[in-house]
Structures are given as structure tokens and as C-alpha cells.
A and B are shown apart, each in its own frame.
Chain A
């Protein structure tokens, strides 16, 4: 390796460290300012809580309120909704792709459902499905499904027309065209839709938990509001941010891995 190349790599590494450092600095500044303002009673710590109180609340939740099982419940619901949403989205996209007229027929309905705020359906879902975890999962699937159908379907539509023509000239049937070109070519689109899907699933789950639940981070937040303990609410939000960040990172790493293997 030449010296210039070494210098170049070093500079890139240096740049990365700087960026990470500044990011951490921002978080720390934010936390310290928050703490400072509440210590000096400049902000009302009863309403705004404070980092110290949040940490105390989290450890209290951990020891007395079974925090881990709340986290696991939310994670479980999110992952189930995510998996079901992606698989259903994949199947619906295939159906729409194979039946173009059907796709045209349902297109305005999909747009309508997509623009409908799904939370409005919450009460009906609870009545239909029951006041239990299934409602939460259904709610979450409603939110992530349309997006995954649309992304995957558009991926299918973008298949290189010459590759399809090639297969047709080789006398391939519809199933062969689907499995040999359309799906493999959309592989990267499908994988990239995972990232949006996981965020959507979590949003759906929390919304569902707000409406009906005995467990989960959404439940903790609502519970905190009801007993007017803003420390619990803030702790819930912080935990949620961490969960969503971790889930996103996992899917992102997974995506990079799956895309590089090909």
C-alpha cells in the first residue's frame, strides 16, 4: 500500500471517529442541558421529567414492573406483524403482477386505504378481532401491508423488459418468468422495503397498544399518562427510541449482508 493510500484510509477513519464523537456529544449536551434546566427549576421537572429521573424510573420499572416482559411483548408483536406484513405483501404483489386488470381495478382502493389514517379503524378492529394482542398485530399489519405491497409490486413492474422477452423467446411459462427473472430482479427492492416495513410495524404496534393492551411499551406510556406520572411516559418514549433504533440497525445490517452476498 502506498503512503498516499494509507493517508487516504486514515483520513476516512478519522472522519468517521469525528462524526461519531460529535453525535455522542450532541446527546450528552442535550441530556446535561435538560438536567441542568430541571435542577435549576427553569423547566417544570414534574411535566418535563429529567434524565436522572428517567434513569431512576427505568431501573424502578425494571425491578418492580417487569420492564423486560413489556419490551419483549412489544418486540414480539412487532416481529410477528413485520413477518406477516412482508409475506402477505409479497403474495399480494405477485397476484397483482400476474393479474394486471385486477391491479388496475384495485389501484384507487389501495390509494384510498393507504391514505386512510389506520388508527381510525382501531375501535372496529378491537370489536371484530377482540381486545387482545391479535388486534394489535392486525393494526400493525394494516399499516405496513399497503406499503410493502406497493414497493414490491413496483419492483416487479421495473423488471428489465428485455430479460422477460429473452425468457419468452426461450418459451418460458408465466411461473418460470416469475421465479427466474421477476422475483430475483426485485430482490434488492424487496430487501430495501424491509427497513420501511420494520419502522411501520413498530408504529402500528404502539398505536395498537395505545388502544388496547395489558402489556408493552405503548401500554406503559398510556399507563404513565393515566396516573399522571410523566417519568414513566418519558422513560417509555426513550426505551421506544432505543428499540426502534436497534431494530432499524439490525434490519439495515441484514440488508447489507443479504445484498452483498448476491
Chain B
């Protein structure tokens, strides 16, 4: 019943710099199933972004390989910076991917407008990004990414630029959107609470060279949205457990 869409097989990545060789990733194995929400947690500088770059095809592994079930997988990538273009309106920003890939069809435009409507951004569609709050901008960035109907969504510490209050609210919103649109997603975070409250599966990564230290299936008593999940009795158990895992590696 496994519906595998991505398999990362024994990946290693070395960087060469003048000061020497850095092994960022060492023998990493990860499997992703369709519709899954996966979190990667690890200390900063351990190689999480490198891994996402490799999955996105922006970088290639030194050894090992990645296989997608899909022949031409579409990958959506989001960062901590929303990367909205200040000289474009919200709607034009959402269109950017379609324009680059020459898929700016009426149907796709309709799709974006629908997403904007669904997630309460429609009234801002002709405004410029500077009129929006940080959380709204991150939601626009998500819609821009969803516009291309990606097979897998990569989120690299997407809420880092937000303050704590909006971070909770926005992660909740983003999670709900991702689930509603039935997206497969990998989120990288160093915020354990975020990982445990959002993901169904957590890969705990060791410090550099980065490898999978432990894998957790997160089985909460009742799984709802991230904010309610934080009140789940099991939440704190997982949190403590993973905290210890990470601590060992400090």
C-alpha cells in the first residue's frame, strides 16, 4: 500500500573549498510516500539545505542517487525568505513560475485565482508585497509554489524570518493549505515543536557529516492542525525524545 514517490539512496555530498574538503552528507537514505508530511531536524550547518538542493536538482550528490517514481517530477521549493518580487503584484508574483515554464494558460491562471480566493488573499491580488504582513507573504509564496502543481514540496526553514507569534499561526495556515491540496512535503526545521506538531514522520539528522540518526513515526492521540497537536499528550514525549537525540550530537 506504500505509494513511494521519492527514494534517496546512499547519498553523499562533498564540497571542495580552498580550506579543504567538507563532507556535508554521508550515506543518507530517505523514502517519501505520496501525501506524506516529513520533517528533517538537525543542528544548523549539518547539511539540510544541501540535501534539499540535491532533491531539487540544483546540486548533485557526490555519490548515491535519487529516484523519483514520476518521470519528470515537478518540485516546489520554499525558503525562509519569501522571495516575492517587490516590483510585481501579488498575482504577478504567483504567475512567475508559470511564465518561466511557458505554462501561463487561462486554466492555470484560474487555478491561481482560486487558490488566492480559497486562502483569503484574493482582495490583495493587485497589491504589492510591501502591503502584506510577513505571514501573508509566506502564504503567497506557497501559492506561487503550488501554482505549478508540484509532486513534492520542499520547505527549507520556511518560518525562520517570522516572529514567534506569527510563526505559530503561519505554520498552522501553511500546514492546512498543504494538507487540503493533498501535497507531499518535506520540511526542514531546527524547531522541534514545529516538526513534531506538523510532520507524520521525522528524520533526526546527525551533525556534519549529515546522516540519518533516527526515524520517528509520529503517532499522536488525535492528529489535527499543528496548534492543537501541540496540546496532544504524546507531543511532549516525542519532543523530549528527539531533543535528547539531538543533544547527544551537540
A and B, one complex? yes
Within 8 A of A (CB), among B75-104: 75-77, 79, 81, 83, 85-87, 96-97, 100-101
Contact check: which of B77, B87, B101 meets A166 at CB < 8 Å? B77
Q: Is the interface of A mostly helix, strand, loop or mixed?
A: helix
Contact A166–B83 (Cβ < 8 Å): yes
Contact B96–A180 (Cβ < 8 Å): yes
Contact B79–A166 (Cβ < 8 Å): yes
Contact check: which of B57, B58, B81 meets A160 at CB < 8 Å? B81
Contact A163–B83 (Cβ < 8 Å): yes
Q: Determine the residue in chain A with the shortest Cβ distance to B53.
A: A165
- Closest CB-CB distance, A60 to chain B, in whole Å? 52
A145 to B217, CA, bound (A): 62
CB of B212 closer than 8 Å to a CB of A: no
- Provide the residues of chain B in CB contact with A180, threshold 8 Å: 85, 96, 100
CB of A110 closer than 8 Å to a CB of B: no
Q: Contact residue range for chain A?
A: 10 to 19
- Closest CB-CB distance, A122 to chain B, in whole Å? 42
Q: Is the interface of B mostly helix, strand, loop or mixed?
A: loop
Q: Determine the residue in chain B with the shortest Cβ distance to A164.
A: B83
A62 to B26, CA, bound (A): 81
- Provide the residues of chain B in CB contact with A157, threshold 8 Å: none
Contact check: which of A162, A171, A172, A184 meets B79 at CB < 8 Å? A162
Q: Determine the residue in chain A with the shortest Cβ distance to B99.
A: A180
Contact check: which of B77, B81, B85, B87 meets A169 at CB < 8 Å? B77
- Provide the residues of chain A in CB contact with B75, threshold 8 Å: 169
Q: Determine the residue in chain B with the shortest Cβ distance to A169.
A: B77
- Closest CB-CB distance, A174 to chain B, in whole Å? 12
- Closest CB-CB distance, A111 to chain B, in whole Å? 23
- Provide the residues of chain A in CB contact with B101, threshold 8 Å: 170-171
Within 8 A of B (CB), among A118-157: none
A104 to B210, CA, bound (A): 34
A45 to B127, CA, bound (A): 63
Residue-wise interface mask of A (250-262) relative to B, using a CB-CB cutoff of 8 A (1 in contact, 0 not): 0000000000001
CB of B112 closer than 8 Å to a CB of A: no
Known: A162-B81, A262-B87. A169 touches B56 (CB 8 A): yes
CB of A168 closer than 8 Å to a CB of B: yes
- Provide the residues of chain B in CB contact with A176, threshold 8 Å: 100
CB of B148 closer than 8 Å to a CB of A: yes
CB of A167 closer than 8 Å to a CB of B: yes
Known: A163-B85, A184-B87, A187-B87. A170 touches B58 (CB 8 A): no
Within 8 A of A (CB), among B49-90: 56-58, 75-77, 79, 81, 83, 85-87
Known: A162-B79, A165-B58, A165-B79. A170 touches B100 (CB 8 A): yes
CB of A181 closer than 8 Å to a CB of B: yes
Residue-wise interface mask of B (145-186) relative to A, using a CB-CB cutoff of 8 A (1 in contact, 0 not): 000100000000000000000000000000000000000000
Contact B79–A170 (Cβ < 8 Å): no
- Provide the residues of chain B in CB contact with A168, threshold 8 Å: 58
Q: Determine the residue in chain A with the shortest Cβ distance to B79.
A: A162
Contact A162–B96 (Cβ < 8 Å): no
- Closest CB-CB distance, B45 to chain A, in whole Å? 17
A169 to B56, CA, bound (A): 7
- Closest CB-CB distance, B48 to chain A, in whole Å? 15
- Closest CB-CB distance, A260 to chain B, in whole Å? 12
- Closest CB-CB distance, A243 to chain B, in whole Å? 34
Q: Determine the residue in chain A with the shortest Cβ distance to B77.
A: A169
A168 to B97, CA, bound (A): 10
- Closest CB-CB distance, A170 to chain B, in whole Å? 5
Given contacts A172-B100, A180-B85, A262-B87, 5 further A-B contacts (CB under 8 A): A163-B85, A165-B58, A169-B77, A170-B96, A184-B85
Interchain residue pairs with CB less than 8 A apart (17):
A160-B81, A162-B81, A163-B83, A165-B77, A166-B77, A167-B100, A169-B56, A170-B96, A171-B100, A171-B101, A172-B100, A176-B100, A180-B85, A180-B96, A181-B85, A184-B85, A262-B87
Can you list the 8 inter-chain pairs with the closest CB atoms, starting with the nearest? A169-B77, A166-B83, A162-B81, A172-B100, A170-B97, A170-B100, A163-B83, A169-B56
